[in-house]
A and B are shown apart, each in its own frame.
Chain A
């Protein structure tokens, strides 16, 4: 549930930041609320479409094997999380600047108001379909029930929109950098945990060797069905009896994404670099 809340929070926050910043920048534009709402609805409808087709894919792959499908979804989720994290480490700040610029251009009459629909629609669609995919990954990794995903999702939506609204209301001095750094670290660990879970499913399907199993056994000390065990599993992929192969997947994923983030933040544009110095 906590992992769901973190993911949904992060995605909603990103979309809400864009919407909040644009909404604040176009405060004086007549009829802007209608365009913003239309963009929000179009984005949500698109995300629902993505969710619906993922269901169809899941049903199709059931014949091939639950493990294979789970491993595949987890793998795609890991790739998207990795891409997202690496992209964010170079564009987190640029994104906010971009949204401000678009808002300004519309207010100055250089751009049509309909661009609001497109910008908001695309932001919601991108974050929405990412959320759908990540939630599939989480439900595959945790095997957690629909109710805990809904609960976590609601917590995430609530937290994300409140912060988006806070930004809109003028709290632009909130240190966004801190949010992105902290959630980026959580997403990094989450991706590594998902990769290790994908390995676990492939081992269960006998498609991958386990190397050593279990590598250690902390099930008496910190059982998986305890609350801290579940929290740690959801957040950092804790497994009380991991196999050697799972650890290999975990470490490789962690190292690869961390390296990508480091390289991306090093190749920042001069403008973004200036912002980083402070």
Chain B
């Protein structure tokens, strides 16, 4: 039963930060370890809402303007995982590299 609910928090060093500013992700390329659960902390510094979306990671989350959201991903197999901002797809592009 202990495996059903993943109450175990992600260790502090597995937290990765992304910033949305001027409809762009900073950094646009994020390197993370493969095979581990990752906590993504996405801070939207724009006044408008953005949707963090990734088909590769199977994630989708709306982040209101001037606020921070948490998204858990992984454990990931080594590889490149593209993500983008659904509301500003032309500029808001990024990739997570798991290795």
Contacts and interface: CB of A to CB of B under 8 A. Distances in A.
A203 B9 CA distance: 13
Interface stretch (B23-31, B59-67, B90-98): B59-67
A243 B74 CA distance: 11
B36 to A, nearest CB: 13
Contact of A143 (B3, B5, B51, B75): B51
A46 interface: no
Given A206-B10, A207-B5, A208-B6, A214 B55 contact: no
B56 interface: yes
A67 B71 CA distance: 10
Contact of A66 (B3, B53, B56, B62): B62
Interface stretch (A89-97, A123-131, A175-183, A217-225): A217-225
Interface residues of A, number: 22
Given A206-B72, A207-B5, A209-B5, A143 B56 contact: no
A88 to B, nearest CB: 32
Given A219-B56, A240-B55, A66 B4 contact: no
Interface string A213-248: 110000100011100000000000001111100000
A200 interface: yes
B6 A239 contact: no
Nearest to B57: A241
Contact of A207 (B6, B10, B61): B6
A205 B58 contact: no
A239 B3 contact: no
A203 B72 contact: yes
A205 B6 contact: no
Contacts of B61: 66-67, 204
Contacts of B58: 200, 213-214, 239-243
B93 to A, nearest CB: 15
Nearest to B62: A66
A207 B62 CA distance: 18
Contact of A224 (B39, B55, B69): B55
A205 to B, nearest CB: 7
A155 to B, nearest CB: 24
Interface string A134-153: 00000000010000000000
A143 B60 contact: yes
Contacts of B59: 204
Given A143-B51, A225-B55, A205 B72 contact: yes
A204 B71 contact: yes
B3 A219 contact: no
Nearest to A243: B58
A214 B6 CA distance: 17
Contacts of B3: 209
Which of B5, B61, B69 counts the most chain A CB atoms within 10 A?
Answer: B61
A223 B51 CA distance: 19
Nearest to B59: A204
Contacts of A224: 55
A212 B59 CA distance: 16
Interface of A: 66-67, 143, 200, 203-209, 213-214, 219, 223-225, 239-243
6 contacts: A66-B69, A67-B61, A204-B59, A206-B9, A214-B58, A219-B56
A-B CB proximity, top 7 nearest: A209-B6, A206-B72, A241-B58, A143-B60, A224-B55, A209-B3, A206-B6
Interface of B: 3-6, 9-10, 37, 39, 51, 53, 55-56, 58-62, 69, 71-72, 74-75
